Amino acid sequence: METGKFNSDFSLSKMGIKGLKSAHYNLNEASLMQHAVVRQEGKLGVGGALLVETGKHTGRSPKDKYIVVDDNTEDTVWWEKNGRMTPKNFQTLHRDILTHMKGKDYFVQDLYACANQDYKLNVRLITEFAWHSLFIRHLLRKPEADELNSFTPEFTIINCPSFKPLATKYEIRSDTIIAIDFDQKIILIAGTAYAGENKKVIFSLLNFTLPSKGVMPMHCSANHGIGDEDDVALFFGLSGTGKTTLSQDPRRELIGDDEHGWSDKGVFNVEGGCYAKTISLSPEAEPEIFSTMSKFSTVIENMCHDPLTLELDYEDDSLTPNMRSAYPLEFITNASRSGEGGAPKNIIFLTCDAFGVLPPIASLSPAQAIYHFLLGFTSKAPGTEGGVTEPEPTFSACFAAPFLALKPEIYGKLLQEKISQQGSKCWLVNTGWTGGPHGVGKRMPIKVTRAVLSAALEGAVGNGGFRIDKNFGFEVPLDINGVDKTLLTPRITWPKASDYDYQAQKLVKMFSNNFEIYKKSVDDTILAVAL
């Protein structure tokens, strides 16, 4: 049985997927909600949100991602972060998944990635769960209804959580797999119900294809001034640095919260929705995101709630600290409808420094910007994970290591070219600790972070002059309106300056050690600023 609207020339049966009990094509939000509840995949929450749990996997499985080795990928893929899979093993896996699917219900969404029509990528997602179909319908971009009759998928993703691959049979590490075959244009996901794999595998795909077209793929959020699409700001940052919160500023228009491309024409959103972390979500600090939690069809993933009232508990992380919600961009009142903007005037690298060393903001030269981009530094605070007893550095290349298909230096060179052409101003913003490390100092006040960002975006940083940081070599403003001057010089916020100096040198050494792998692949301008 087949239901819904689709291109009959590209039915599942004509794609070699046969023997299904049913195939539901391009169902809308209400229909998918109904299927999800009836199938007991989740339950209705307050306001008509959908409450779901993902079981064993509550986050991504980056060590279980594989790319098929062929003539196109052998010498181009960053194999240090991507597992190798032979074409034979992929074909066997593909065949076995199709056999497993027989007699079952599946949900199909024909969607596209990239708001810029020049780089539009048609993607078909075939999912075992109705709620996964709803999730990806939020996260990607929807064609017009009359376009579905002629929709031609360029890549096909098959997501089958109930299929547990045998590690020895396919030469993989576990019973979970995300496998990409760029030649066949097929992606297989199995053994995990975590919905984020559906969106991140598309970003991995674009990380492979866009650079050859001169487009910089970026794991960042983006916004622009109200009514001014040329006043674009990019926010790079790893989890916990404030990327989503800080970009969703009511004084600016949100382009997107996670994945973007930068072409010669400007910045464009890859997605059509948001996937926000909800732990400790506050209606005061994040009113727009908070409001989506009680809207019809928002997918709320792995959140504890009262079984009677269905009231959500934003502090209970017993299921996972990685609790999330997925919703379409139109749920955010100040979101861009086009998903596009001009080239960025400002690029912000967000870091959560649990060592308490970095200032709340620093100005980076173009070379320093690429240095920090390649390193992608943040830190885990003690207590955030088992066994973490002191600040633990995290270096994630390009602020996106798990999603990179190519070597980091390729993205670094491309960003370097873009910055050079545009003259973008680059900033390092610390949303972590000051006055001492975690456990001694205090978290940088959110009002301070918002103040330094506002000053940067308004061109008001540096009116009072700069100092050169003796440890990192970047420029630090001496004065910013509305910010305590002492915060701009972290050393004097510590009880003992000698303790600060010791901690700073530790961090400098970590930077230096982690940059070693890039020394042979970057130009002299970047080597000159390396620590």
Dihedral sign for Cα atoms in the order 313, 51, 59, 257: negative
* 366 lies in the same domain as 321: no
Per-residue pLDDT of the chain (531 residues; tens, 9 = 90+): 899 999 999 999 999 999 999 999 999 999 999 999 999 999 999 999 999 999 999 999 999 999 999 999 999 999 999 999 999 999 999 999 999 999 999 999 999 999 999 999 999 999 999 999 999 999 999 999 999 999 999 999 999 999 999 999 999 999 999 999 999 999 999 999 999 999 999 999 999 999 999 999 999 999 999 999 999 999 999 887 888 889 988 899 999 999 999 999 999 999 999 999 999 999 988 899 999 999 999 999 999 999 999 999 999 999 999 999 999 999 999 999 999 999 999 999 999 999 999 999 999 999 999 999 999 999 875 444 444 456 688 999 999 999 999 999 999 999 999 999 999 999 999 999 999 999 899 999 989 999 999 999 999 998 889 999 999 999 999 999 999 999 999 999 999 999 999 999 999 999 999 999 999 999 999 999 999
Same domain, 325 and 352: no
Judgement on whether residues 319 and 421 belong to the same structural domain of the protein: no
Which amino acid, one-letter code, is at 402?
P
Q: What's the rounded Cα separation, in Å, for the pair 437 and 13?
A: 59
Instruction: Return the pLDDT at 391.
Output: 66
DSSP state letters, 26-76: S--HHHHHHHHHHTTSEEE-GGG-EEE--TT-SS--GGGEEEE-STTTTTT
Q: How far apart are CA 170 and CA 88, in angstroms?
A: 9
97 shares a domain with 32: yes
Nearest to 126 by CA among 244, 18, 234, 12: 12
The answer to whether the Cα torsion of 434, 438, 439, 443 is positive or negative is positive
Q: Which of 213, 231, 252 is the last residue of a domain?
A: 213
Distance, CA of 372 to CA of 349 (rounded, Å)? 8
Query: Domains in the chain: how many in total?
Result: 3
- Which among 332, 298, 300 is positioned nearest to 138, based on CA atoms? 298
- Both 465 and 324 in one domain: the answer is no
Q: Which residues does residue 24 pair with via DSSP β-bridges, in sequence order?
A: 3, 107
- Identity of residue 368: Q
Catalytic residue check, 244: yes
Task: Give the H or E element holding residue 482.
Answer: none
CATH code where residue 486 lies: 3.90.228.20
Residue 138 a catalytic site member: no
The active-site residue out of 243, 260, 372, 380 is: 243
Residue 101 lies in a domain: yes
Q: How many residues does the chain have?
A: 531
The single residue of 35, 60, 224, 372 carrying the catalytic annotation is 60
Task: Assess contact for 182 and 73: CB atoms under 8 A.
Answer: yes
Domain boundary, last residue among 213, 241, 257: 213
One of 64, 96, 181, 258 is an active-site residue; which one? 258
The SS3 of residue 515 is: helix
Q: What pLDDT, on the 0 to 100 scale, is given for residue 381?
A: 57
CATH number of the domain bearing residue 186: 3.40.449.10
Task: For residue 338, tell me if it sits in a domain.
Answer: no
**Quick check: 238 and 221 in contact, CB under 8 A?**
no
Is residue 228 situated within a structural domain? Answer: no
Q: Do β-strands 273-277 and 105-113 pair in parallel, antiparallel, or remain unpaired?
A: unpaired
Residues 17 and 90 in one domain: yes
Which DSSP letter does residue 292 get? G
Q: Are 323 and 465 found together in one domain?
A: no
Q: At 100, list the tokens.
A: 């497993």
Q: Is 450 a catalytic residue?
A: no
- Cα–Cα distance for residue pair 31/351, rounded to 1 Å: 41
Q: Which of 24, 42, 177 is nearest to 96 (CA)?
A: 177
Q: Count CB-CB contacts under 10 A for residue 91.
A: 14
Q: Tell me, yes or no, whether 75 and 208 share the same domain.
A: yes
Q: What is the 3-state secondary structure (H, E, C) of 114-158?
A: CCCHHHCEEEEEEECCHHHHHHHHHHCECCCHHHHHHCCCCEEEE
Catalytic residue among 324, 345, 380, 491: 324
d(CA 338, CA 326): 19
Whether 262 is in a domain gets the answer no
What pLDDT does 386 receive? 47
Selecting among 133, 192, 244, 336, the annotated active-site residue is 244
How many DSSP H helices and E strands does the chain contain? 12, 29
Confirm if 182 and 201 have CB atoms less than 8 A apart.
Answer: no
**Is 337 an active-site residue?**
no
Domain that holds residue 316: 275-331
Task: Classify the C-alpha dihedral 434-487-287-233 as positive or negative.
Answer: negative
Question: Cα dist. 230→328, 340, 399, 424, 480 in Å?
Answer: 24, 10, 24, 12, 25
> Is residue 238 domain-resident?
no
**Active-site residue (options: 138, 219, 260, 491):** 219
Instruction: Assign residue 306 the CATH number of its domain.
Output: 2.170.8.10
The CA distances from residue 192 to 61, 101, 106, 160, 331, in Å, are 8, 15, 16, 8, 28
**Sign of the torsion angle spanned by Cα atoms 35, 36, 37, 41:** positive
Judge contact between 490 and 357, C-beta under 8 A. yes
List 239, 291, 454, 521, catalytic entry: 239
Q: Are residues 316 and 348 in the same domain?
A: no
- Characterize 359-392 residue by residue with b for buried, 16 or more Cβ atoms within 10 angstroms of its Cβ, and e for exposed: bbbbbbbbbbbbbbbbbbbbbbbeeeeeeeeebb
In the residue annotation, 443 being an active-site residue is answered as no
In a domain, 10, yes or no: yes
Same domain, 99 and 35: yes
Co-location of 323 and 401 in the same domain: no
Selected catalytic residue, list 57, 65, 142, 200: 200
* Single pTM value for the model: 0.94
Alpha carbon distance 504, 516 (integer Å): 19
Domain identity same for 374 and 314: no
Rounded CA separation 379/152 (Å): 43
Dist CA 248 CA 416 (whole Å): 26
Q: Is 239 marked active-site?
A: yes
d(CA 61, CA 233): 30
How many CB atoms sit inside 10 A of residue 136's CB? 26
Check residue 467 and report its DSSP letter. E
Taking the C-alpha atoms of residue 155 and residue 138, their distance in angstroms, rounded to an integer, is 18
Q: For residue 219, tell me if it sits in a domain.
A: no
Distances (CA, A) of 313 to 49, 323, 531: 14, 11, 44
